[in-house]
A and B are shown apart, each in its own frame.
Chain A
């Protein structure tokens, strides 16, 4: 996978899906429109200030709350390259993997990286490089099965192979 590089926007712990994409926008399915409301109830300036490729670094339990897949979809569509956090709420975690949106688990990165830092992330190795500070962090490795899903761009690729295998046998 291609390396991610961008400026860091930093938020606290327990960022829930209601503030990432409030319920009043959850009937929207078009990613471009979803992007307009990304982080609407967390940071009203978010969508105006970010640039494509920027990285969100946040506290633990990121994405807790609702199962709404529009939460990672809206972040992905906003142009954010990936999210780094000590831990992710489990539904957000699987949604991100299933739609092929890069997430990285690292407590040290959250503690030490500051807003505005320039970071580079290698998704293949999980190495997070803070170019501003000259520091490096290693994200927790994904289990092999999840790496397979991610390398296919999401869960759909897995399902297609499974269906092909079944129809062949």
Chain B
């Protein structure tokens, strides 16, 4: 019996020839990520571990404060100070305001993550790096602390659900729509404890941005990790960020899967997830009339330059509806720089959007765009749970950047066709 890509990566990091789904293994960890929230608790825990004084592999320990940064208030400023002191004292990798952005964009762009690695992070969307063919998963702070101390973590080898997308994507359809549709099909616990392995000819030309989005949101189906096989698009991306030494793993043709899901991607329309659970998806054309108060475009799920281009393409020559606030959140300093170069910044400003610093703020109801009572928001973020972006009575609708931009212009949930013509395929 063959093995899946996930099983092969875990076996290689457990010093084993093979591993079986369900067994618990201790694996070597290549990268341990923490943001200021998960790091703060992890540091407390690390200091309690008898015998632990130094991070075993400081080069693989990455810190990106991004949730409440630039510091929201004195409390969060003190929290970040504490994390900064620890990271610098440990000679770990520290990415702060001005040289950073949102963790899940920062790590790939700095060439830190790549195929074949085991990556854990104190953030559930650490699944993002599976887009590069890595095993990558979110963990809690105690896991982070222990991985700093011993360089290993415990993992239950997940069974794999194989999701295959057939056909040619329709205009405006992106990785976001594919993953929203898939979560709608599988439900939010359809892949709990499992790996989601993405396949199919519909993904062959999907840019890295779309793959990052899909892996990012695999957690919203409950998955432990989402994973793609590296191909030429992956290799070109890795070359562009200077990540040149890596091992590619591939699933064997006779690997065993827990479940096979076949999706006719050619029939999928742009999707929208209604409140208050990401599985509550439907085509945008079936949304009905939903007037909105705010739009958020960007963050770790859709904060890549490709996402910014799509949103700007729709917004060009239009104005955001006067009753709507449209907040654009590039994923990183790098993305923002590219936006300036390509003239996207001007398009956003001319169409009455605000371009925010890179932060998780609005997505977690932290700062920089918190929703008030009964407000409705179309957002390219990843979760539409009750209270996620602010008041408990606020409603969040998840969509791709073009849908979000069209909705901002229309003042209600809108299909991009209502505002612009699609760009040529690709």
Contact = CB atoms under 8 A, between A and B. Distances in A.
B142 A95 contact: yes
A5 B149 CA distance: 36
| Most A-side CB within 10 Å, residue of B51, B277, B386 | B51
A90 B67 CA distance: 22
A155 B24 contact: no
Contact of B122 (A67, A159, A164, A167): A67
B68 interface: yes
A154 B49 contact: no
Majority SS at the chain A contact face:
helix
A66 to B, nearest CB: 5
B383 A65 contact: yes
A77 B399 CA distance: 37
Given A40-B387, A67-B124, A95-B140, 15 more contacts: A19-B387, A24-B365, A29-B79, A65-B385, A66-B124, A67-B139, A67-B140, A69-B141, A70-B37, A87-B189, A90-B224, A94-B140, A95-B143, A98-B140, A158-B146
Interface of A: 14, 16, 18-19, 22-24, 26-27, 29, 40-42, 60-61, 64-70, 73, 87, 89-91, 94-95, 98-99, 143, 145-146, 149, 154-156, 158-160, 162-164, 166-167
Interface of B: 24, 36-38, 40-41, 44-45, 48-52, 67-68, 75-76, 79, 121-124, 126, 138-143, 145-146, 149-150, 152, 154, 156, 188-189, 192-193, 222, 224, 277, 364-366, 370, 383, 385-388, 392
28 contacts: A18-B385, A19-B386, A23-B364, A24-B370, A26-B37, A29-B79, A40-B387, A61-B189, A65-B385, A67-B126, A69-B140, A69-B141, A69-B142, A94-B139, A94-B140, A95-B140, A98-B140, A98-B142, A99-B142, A145-B154, A146-B24, A155-B146, A156-B49, A156-B145, A162-B150, A163-B50, A163-B51, A167-B51
